[in-house]
Amino acid sequence: MALAGPALAAWIAASIAAAPSAPDRAARDRPLAPPGQERVDGEIGRGRPSSPEQDAALRAAVERALSWLAARQREEPDGSMPPTGASAGQYAPVGTTALAALAYMAAGSTPERGPFGRELSDAVDYLLSRVDLAQGSDERGYVSDQRDRVSQMHGHGLSTLALAQACSVSPKTARGRRILEALELSVQRIEASQGLEGGWYYKPVSGLEHEGSVTICLVQALRAAKDAGVRVEAEVIARAVAYVERSQKQDGSFRYALGREETSVALTAAAIATLNATGRYSGTTIAQGYDYIERELGVRELELARGGFGTHAARYPFYERLYLAQALWQHSDRALFERWADVERPRVLVAQRADGSWGGSAYGDCYATAVNVLFLTLPEGLLPIFQR
């Protein structure tokens, strides 16, 4: 592991020293700071490190991560992200390339402009090339890749989100017009695939099956597409909101799917982020969801402080980090995000490899690295979907 200079080393050492100790394998899932822990390093609410040294260390880490992603992307002739570090059977170029495109934009690049403008353009062109444009196709508008058996509608949603964000930052270019055409078809595919219960499942067709994580992905995609100027049926959003609300349990958590009892911090954060995407930022449903998250993270904190790695640990830490960051960032009390990020951020940075990447995900190092960049850059507010 190589740190980005003594400033980063000092920051991480101070941050970890201020928090209770925990085993290495639990470090990546460190949640909210213990109750009563005060912030002493700057103004609350900024959402990012407050000292010049911390800011420089963060930017250096993001730069190294994006440079690593760009180098890996150049290994593929079509602009997609390669299966670096992916477990067998978990290669997901559609979803991972969409996340990488979002990471480039979240750090300030736009197609053809910025330090990673070329790579972003290649990623966008790859996604555009995978849109089903065939007249009469049962999957017209679907974004897929024959090599990809994993992404499915998750990948379609992430691709739609990435294309919508790219369209928003460069709408009047030739590529922007191509994106808009693809977005219209992509949105139509999402609308046509909505299940009878109001949620979505893994296939690009409507049916009886449904689950929350796919629904979250697609609702965010619809919000981004609407912001980019694409017409979205209001009834589709209304049914999706009703589905998410019906997924909530009495303890405030959100189910994996209607009819199934399993819940988690990740699913609950994702559900809140979904409601935020539809314009819902307050109300009993959302308040109860936040209460559940705080309770669960508090229990996890106690487990970690006692040197354990208990049942409250994150099962999918990258997925949880991505949606928990969004949910906490959108909360009216910015200190909630700050308390969590003040501990999570240095732990993420200390896990960065010498080459700029992160590992630990079955979907590969490109996936892990892109998600962590999105977490680290979220407070910059450069992606429209992440703006308060």
CATH of the domain at 240: 1.50.10.20
Tokens 């270019």 locate to 173
Torsion sign, CA atoms 334, 317, 212, 300? negative
Whether 388 shows a pLDDT value over 50: the answer reads: yes
Domain total in the chain: 1
- Higher local confidence (pLDDT), 168 or 295: 295
Q: How many percent of the chain have pLDDT more than 70? A: 85
- DSSP annotation of 170 reads S
Neighbours of 282 (CB within 10 A): 10
Lowest mean pLDDT among 31-35, 83-87, 104-108: 31-35
Single out the residue of 291, 353, 311 nearest to residue 29, CA to CA.
Answer: 311
pLDDT number for residue 47: 59
Whether 202 shows a pLDDT value over 50: the answer reads: yes
Separation between Cα atoms, residue 137 and residue 317, nearest integer Å: 37
Dig out the tokens for 246 from the structure. 């019906």
pLDDT number for residue 270: 95
The helix/strand count (H/E) of the chain reads as: 13, 0
Q: How many percent of the chain have pLDDT more than 90? A: 73
Question: Region 289-310: what's the mean pLDDT?
Answer: 84
Grade residue 340 by pLDDT with cuts at 50, 70 and 90.
very high
Whether 350 shows a pLDDT value over 70: the answer reads: yes
Question: Region 35-53: what's the mean pLDDT?
Answer: 46
8 A C-beta contact, residue 97 and residue 158: no
Range of the domain at 283: 5-386
Residue 274, helix vs strand vs coil: helix
Give the count of alpha carbons within 13 A of 2, CB side only. Answer: 9
Q: Give 362: exposed, middle or buried? Use CB within 10 Å, 0-12, 13-18, 19+.
A: middle
Whether 99 shows a pLDDT value over 60: the answer reads: yes
Single out the residue of 150, 9, 39, 38 nearest to residue 92, CA to CA.
Answer: 150
Grade residue 51 by pLDDT with cuts at 50, 70 and 90.
confident
pLDDT tens string 3-40: 333 343 343 333 333 333 333 323 323 223 222 322 22
Highest mean pLDDT among 87-91, 101-105, 111-115, 274-278: 101-105
pLDDT number for residue 20: 33
Question: Region 296-300: what's the mean pLDDT?
Answer: 88
Question: pTM score, two decimals?
Answer: 0.86
Average pLDDT in the chain: 86
Separation between Cα atoms, residue 121 and residue 114, nearest integer Å: 11
Grade residue 151 by pLDDT with cuts at 50, 70 and 90.
very high
Question: CA-based angle 25:217:324, to the nearest 5?
Answer: 40
pLDDT number for residue 159: 98
Question: Region 319-330: what's the mean pLDDT?
Answer: 96
Say which residues have a Cβ less than 8 Å from residue 202's Cβ, sequence separation at least 6.
152, 153, 154, 209, 211, 214
Question: Region 308-322: what's the mean pLDDT?
Answer: 77
Whether 194 shows a pLDDT value over 80: the answer reads: yes
Question: Region 272-297: what's the mean pLDDT?
Answer: 94
Residue 248, helix vs strand vs coil: strand
pLDDT number for residue 321: 96
pLDDT tens string 253-273: 999 988 888 899 999 999 999
pLDDT number for residue 386: 85
Whether 83 shows a pLDDT value over 90: the answer reads: yes
Neighbours of 23 (CB within 10 A): 10
Alpha carbon separation from 76 to 111, 135, 175, 310 (Å, rounded): 18, 29, 21, 40
